[in-house]
Amino acid sequence: MKGVAITGMGIISSIGNSVGENYISLIENKIGISRITNISTVHADVIKVGEIKKTNEELIAELGLDSDNNFSRTAMIGTLAAKQAVENSGITSINEFRTGLISATSVGGMDMTERHYYDYFKHPELVKYIACHDGGDVAEKIAEELGLKGIVTTISTACSSAANAIMLGARLIKTGKLDRVIVGGADGLAKFTINGFKTLMILSDAFNKPFDNERKGLNLGEAAAYLVLESDEVVAKQNKKVLARVSGYGNANDAFHQTASSENGDGAYLAMKKAFEVSGLKPSEIDYINVHGTATPNNDLSEGRAIKRIYQDEKVPDFSSTKPFTGHTLAAAAAIEAVYSVLAIQNNVVYPNLNFENQMEEFDLTPQTTLKNKTIEHVLSNSFGFGGNCSTLIFSKS
């Protein structure tokens, strides 16, 4: 058996609070994009977001946190998803094996920082939130809630962060440094991010349309997802059910521009190429590509070109972006899409690329626009981030 075993998954996103709910939304075209309600912003009437329709108070109650907790929204959704993953994997004693946690986030507890920034000096009761700004705070909160004592670390490479967390986790298992690792990412919506993307002029005021000729940009989203990876020894010892395997991974840098992708998609091409090398698979063996597909003019062009370079004269497999459902959930995106990739393998489906109308004029790539049932052995999932950070994961049937 090639690849690292996935034995548990957990997710909370704008299309569902569990793995089951997310899957139903994906196959029934239930999108999570709407007007923003949890954050007060002057852009509320312009932008559309993939928001988890739970207030912080509801999340606190659900997690059973004390009133003196200092959880950011990101830490709360992260903890919910990680707890689901651990439960789904049937783990009862978290430190029984050498267990780690590799998390991903873009701005950590920024949602609390921006809310209280100028009030800290006036309101001593808020001072507890200063510490949650730290990028590592989310992972440490999750570790504490899980009682996990071993290695905990966080990766932040913008929108490819969770792919890199999954990649590192798989390498730690493969090299025998860990027996078990919880990997994934969390990002709550924040004014900081909304305004950042707004200034870059890559937010769409309409529903995002990946790989469409008239695409106008992305919708931001919030989500958290975690997966449990385990060594074959642990799987055999505990007779565990393997949901799917991480069979390939690759990371490369576009080295072109801080926020834009190169026109020929060098970084994306190299990341996919490496992932194929690691997996030993040929491009033609991929049954479904879950593209990064943010629906910005730049990303889809660059990613499309890179895919064309990988497939050359061969047929490009069925592909779709699931961001019309969830929005772009930044550092969490690759973990969300890892869960969707595993579900595609388990249920033998290709999800529709919603909102697509017209093929891009630069190439002849048409995404799968309706739900398609077919045997799925291998899924390739792309995630690219600022700083030219490009990552590819390949998931395979166990």
Partner 1 sequence: MKKTYINGVGCISTQKTFDTVFLEEAIVNHDENVLAIVPPVYKDYISPAASRRMAKGVKNGIVASALAMKDANIEKVDAIITGTGLGCIEDSEKFLKSILDNNEEFLTPTSFIQSTHNTVGAQIALLQQCKGYNFTYVNGAVSFESALLDAKMQIEEEEAQSVLVGGVDENGEYTTALFKLSGRIKPDNQQPYNLLDSDTSGAVYGEGASFFVLENERKETTYAEVLDIAIVNTLEENEIEAEIKSFLKSNNLEISDIDALVLGFDGNVDFENYYRNLTENAFAETPVLYYKHLCGEYDTASAFAFWMAAKIIKTQEIPEIIKVNSVEKPVYNTILLYNQLNGKNHSFTLITK
Catalytic residues: 159, 292, 328
3-state secondary structure (DSSP) of residue 107: coil
CA 46 to chain centre: 25
Q: Residue 307: which of 389, 367, 370, 235 has the closest Cα?
A: 367
To partner 1, the closest distance from the beta carbon of 339 in angstroms equals 22
SS3 content of the chain, % helix, strand, coil (to 5): 35, 20, 40
Q: How many CB atoms lie within 10 A of CB 192?
A: 14
Torsion 298-389-157-15 (CA) sign = positive
Nearer to partner 1, 356 or 384 (CB): 384
Nearer to partner 1, 138 or 339 (CB): 138
Nearer to partner 1, 271 or 380 (CB): 271
Nearer to partner 1, 104 or 295 (CB): 104
Torsion 72-76-82-87 (CA) sign = positive
To partner 1, the closest distance from the beta carbon of 103 in angstroms equals 8
Environment class of 53 (CB within 10 Å of its CB; exposed 0-12, middle 13-18, buried 19+)? exposed
Nearer to partner 1, 79 or 106 (CB): 106
Whether the CB-CB separation of 319 and 359 falls below 8 Å is answered with no
Q: How far from 213 is each of 115, 291, 300, CA to CA, in Å?
A: 38, 16, 10
Nearer to partner 1, 171 or 372 (CB): 171
Residue ranges in contact with partner 1 by CB under 8 A: 41-43, 101, 105-106, 108, 110, 113-114, 117-118, 120-121, 127, 130-131, 133-137, 139-140, 143-144, 148-158, 164, 168, 171-172, 175, 177, 191-192, 195-196, 198-200, 251-259, 266-267, 270, 385-389
To partner 1, the closest distance from the beta carbon of 18 in angstroms equals 27
To partner 1, the closest distance from the beta carbon of 379 in angstroms equals 22
Q: Residue 304: which of 358, 382, 374 has the closest Cα?
A: 382
Residues 6+ apart with CB under 8 A from 258: 386, 387, 388
To partner 1, the closest distance from the beta carbon of 346 in angstroms equals 30
Q: How many CB atoms lie within 10 A of CB 315?
A: 8
To partner 1, the closest distance from the beta carbon of 120 in angstroms equals 6
